[in-house]
């Protein structure tokens, strides 16, 4: 059976929500040790451990946003917006998570987010402030969201993106900036 997921019927729970929950539970069951890895401020790249085929597929998509302008000496609001194909939407009932695991030259990393898709229908916002005198900064993490076909929610796809935002610090930058993250189309077969 390739490309189709069969879910049993659970009274009071939509099939899309059941499938989304299954994928969320599967992807989030791994323990995460935030103390492992390179020391803070290090530019060393850790080699990913060997994963199963489905986990490799989920982690295969890394997105980098280069040269995102932020204001020196003050807080900048970064709006991370979804770019979805027609007929696809973020599942309101499924889990939505953002976990920041790397922050270089920022006063502090934004708080992690654990919510439902209702809180992130069009995207989400973070606030960042560069360290004084830093010419650039970096923020990295993992975003998990579920998209479904907006007509019937018969097809839902859990999305996991490793994201790195490379900031350029400038005294003339706006206090607000945007980046857009492409999400795949969810459509019935």
Q: 61: pLDDT confidence band, cut at 50, 70 and 90?
A: confident
What average pLDDT does the segment 96-115 reach? 96
Question: What domains appear along the chain, each with residue ranges and CATH number?
Answer: 59-182 (2.60.40)
Question: What does the pLDDT average to over 3-16?
Answer: 42
Query: Tokens 């077969």, residue?
Result: 189
Q: What is the pLDDT of residue 89?
A: 95
Neighbour order of strands in the sheet with 76-83: 123-128, 76-83, 176-182
Which tokens go with 123?
């995207």
CA proximity to 99, closest of 37, 142, 158: 142
| End-to-end CA gap in the chain | 14
Mean per-residue pLDDT, 167-187:
95
Average pLDDT over the chain, rounded to whole? 78
- Tens of pLDDT, residues 21-31: 545 444 444 33
Q: Burial letters for 61-93: b for 16+ Cβ neighbours within 10 Å, e otherwise?
A: eeeebeebebbbeeebebebebebeeebbbbbb
- Claim: this prediction has a pTM higher than 0.85: no
Question: Strands (DSSP E) along the chain, which ranges?
Answer: 62-71, 76-83, 88-90, 95-104, 113-116, 123-128, 136-149, 156-170, 176-182
């Amino acid at each position: 059976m390739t490309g189709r997921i069969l879910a049993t019927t659970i009274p009071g729970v939509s099939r899309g929500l059941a499938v989304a929950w299954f994928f969320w539970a599967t992807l989030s069951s791994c323990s995460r040790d935030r103390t492992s890895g390179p020391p803070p401020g290090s530019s060393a790249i850790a080699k990913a451990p060997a994963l199963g085929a489905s986990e490799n597929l989920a982690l295969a998509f890394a997105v980098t946003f280069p040269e995102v302008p932020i204001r020196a000496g003050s807080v900048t609001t970064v709006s991370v917006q979804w770019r979805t194909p027609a007929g696809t939407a973020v599942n309101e009932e499924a889990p939505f998570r953002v976990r920041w695991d790397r922050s270089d030259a920022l006063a502090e990393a934004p708080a992690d987010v654990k919510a439902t898709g209702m809180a992130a229908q069009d995207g989400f916002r973070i606030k960042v402030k560069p360290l004084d005198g830093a010419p650039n900064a970096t923020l990295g993490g993992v975003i998990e969201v579920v998209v479904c076909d907006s007509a019937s929610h018969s097809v839902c796809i859990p999305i996991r993106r490793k994201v790195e935002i490379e900031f350029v610090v400038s005294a003339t930058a706006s206090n607000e900036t945007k980046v857009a993250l492409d999400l795949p189309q969810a459509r019935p077969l």
